[in-house]
Amino acid sequence: AMKLIMMPLIGKKKKTQDAMNQVYKLPDFNLALRLAQTMNVLFCTIMYSSSMPILLYIGALYCFVAYWADKICLLRLSARPPAFTQETVIGAIKLFPLAALLHCLLAFWMLGNQNVFPSD
């Protein structure tokens, strides 16, 4: 975002078209980074939601904000990305059964703990 603010100021000092093109070139969109961040938030949300149900609302809020932030970044603030294949996203989706298993295991451990929910 800082680069977008500085573009007009830096661009006035450039002498050649190549130098101007470098100033006004938008950064690439890092799909792998965004997918990793989203998977991290969703895995943590799914795993710990049995003991902290508020995480479901936080995860939903993250998905809403991340959707709009990525949409703005893709359409306005980054260079046109190359054509990505669906293999990366499908590989990430295949990990969600593991998140469900971890959710169940953590729920059994947390809800079965006598210090958390004592029973008579």
Please report whether residue 9 resides in a domain. no
- Note whether residue 1 is domain-resident: no
Q: Is 41 part of any domain? A: yes
CA distance 3 to 24: 9
Q: Is residue 38 part of a domain?
A: yes
Give the residue-averaged pLDDT of 28-42: 91
What total of structural domains would you count in the chain? 1
- Inside any domain, residue 16: no
Res 12 pLDDT > 90: no
Q: How far apart are CA 77 and CA 29, in angstroms?
A: 9
The domain of 90 spans 30-112
Report residue 47's pLDDT band, with 50, 70 and 90 as the boundaries: very high
Residue 118 is assigned to a structural domain of this protein: no
Q: What is the pLDDT of residue 77?
A: 82
Span between the terminal Cα atoms of the chain, in Å: 58
2 has pLDDT over 80: no
pLDDT of residue 85: 86
This model's pTM is above 0.85: no
Mean pLDDT of 55-71: 96
Determine the pLDDT at residue 98.
95
Grade residue 5 by pLDDT with cuts at 50, 70 and 90. Answer: low
85 belongs to a structural domain: yes
Reported as a pLDDT band with limits 50, 70 and 90, residue 1 is low
Q: Say if 13 falls within a structural domain.
A: no
